[in-house]
Chains A and B, each alone.
Chain A
């Protein structure tokens, strides 16, 4: 008899936490909105004389809210510190902050504010929003893939923008046979959701 009770206690103590996990897994409620700033990556590739050159921004502030249960209600805001650019070489870095390019003194930050998020099925979404660089605002649309891993979600996507629509590299630099108009931008952002109470 005593053995039975011990066995029962052991079983219950084994099963209880599992039950707890089960309840938790069935209700993964919670919005991913705790961005992990250290994981932010904003990369780009531009072509000069058809040569692909990679660059990235060292500082980007992202606020986002993504609820897997209501993805269409997701919101994203990006504030990009344009002065933190690495455009592939020290020559380029001192050049692109200048007036013909980003004119960082007058326009230190680029912003993106989402206006809609459409589920495309599975973990794929299409996000549209307003991108403002150098005082010019354009609509951009980008696919986003969301990879959930427990309480962390990674958001990845890439889109192409035309630099001249934002007057990035005007004057003599507007010659697209030297520096192409299309810039491929890719991003990676990770966010956690607050632990369920």
Chain B
């Protein structure tokens, strides 16, 4: 397989769908946690969970595309250490995009709140109600989320650096509109 110079269209679409959802879910999660209990808070928590589950769903085609479609090679001008950092970042991002919503789902189950996707589809409880476990999973969700926040920041910073400072094609491969 020859490496294309750009990500496939479905890969671009699903990347940006996940990106938008993650960028909504992150601040929503931090914001709603600090609210005192109110109808608004319950609504936001539900939305946050629905977004998280949607990310999990979208990850299936995402992973499938990544494994079946050739991905563009890093631009030629990139030093080896940057390639290494990029592939580690991507691998960890993939892992966290699964781990963060999954830990949220686990935490919700352990705290005795089943997830009803879009208010319509009851999802199975991953664990039974257990307050101590719920608190552990809450911490896990928070720690993993901090990790995701850092990596998303790094990912965005690197993409912008390639586009603005290096002025290479790295970002354009995921944003066809930017093609120079």
Q: Check A54–B112 contact: CB distance below 8 A.
A: yes
Alpha-carbon gap, A14 to B43, bound state (A)? 70
**Could you jot down 30 A-B contacts, CB within 8 Å?**
A48-B42, A49-B42, A49-B43, A49-B45, A49-B116, A49-B119, A50-B119, A51-B46, A51-B113, A51-B114, A52-B114, A52-B122, A53-B112, A53-B113, A54-B129, A88-B112, A88-B113, A89-B111, A89-B112, A91-B37, A95-B37, A172-B38, A172-B39, A173-B39, A175-B39, A178-B39, A178-B42, A178-B43, A179-B39, A179-B42
Q: Does B120 interact with chain A (Cβ within 8 Å)? A: yes
B104: min CB distance to chain A, Å: 14
Alpha-carbon gap, A175 to B42, bound state (A)? 12
Alpha-carbon gap, A145 to B131, bound state (A)? 33
Residues of B contacting A: mostly: loop
Alpha-carbon gap, A8 to B120, bound state (A)? 74
Q: Does A92 interact with chain B (Cβ within 8 Å)? A: yes
Q: 9 tightest A-B contacts by CB?
A: A49-B46, A178-B39, A50-B119, A50-B116, A95-B37, A51-B116, A91-B37, A48-B42, A88-B112
Q: Does B55 interact with chain A (Cβ within 8 Å)? A: no
Chain B residues with CB under 8 A of A53: 112-113
Residues of A contacting B: mostly: mixed
Chain A residues with CB under 8 A of B37: 91-92, 95
Map CB proximity to A onto B115-131 as digits: 1 under 8 Å, 0 otherwise.
11001101000000100
Interface size, B (range): 10 to 19
Alpha-carbon gap, A53 to B119, bound state (A)? 13
Interface size on A, residues (CB 8 A): 17
B28: min CB distance to chain A, Å: 15
Alpha-carbon gap, A95 to B122, bound state (A)? 25
B37: min CB distance to chain A, Å: 5
What residue in chain B is nearest A175 (Cβ atoms)? B39
CB within 8 Å for A51 and B115 given contacts A173-B39, A178-B39, A178-B42: yes
What residue in chain A is nearest B111 (Cβ atoms)? A89
Map CB proximity to A onto B24-47 as digits: 1 under 8 Å, 0 otherwise.
000000000000011100110110
Chain B residues with CB under 8 A of A54: 112, 129
Map CB proximity to B onto A164-183 as digits: 1 under 8 Å, 0 otherwise.
00000000110100110000
Map CB proximity to A onto B61-77 as digits: 1 under 8 Å, 0 otherwise.
00000000000000000
Most chain A CB inside 10 Å of its own CB: which residue of B38, B39, B116, B119: B39
A82: min CB distance to chain B, Å: 18
User: Which residues of chain A from 44 to 103 have any CB-CB distance to chain B below 8 Å in the complex?
Assistant: 48-54, 88-89, 91-92, 95
Alpha-carbon gap, A49 to B48, bound state (A)? 12
Alpha-carbon gap, A52 to B113, bound state (A)? 7
Alpha-carbon gap, A50 to B39, bound state (A)? 13
Chain A residues with CB under 8 A of B46: 49, 51
Chain B residues with CB under 8 A of A173: 39
Alpha-carbon gap, A76 to B129, bound state (A)? 33
Map CB proximity to B onto A3-47 as digits: 1 under 8 Å, 0 otherwise.
000000000000000000000000000000000000000000000
Alpha-carbon gap, A95 to B35, bound state (A)? 13
What residue in chain B is nearest A50 (Cβ atoms)? B119
Alpha-carbon gap, A172 to B42, bound state (A)? 12
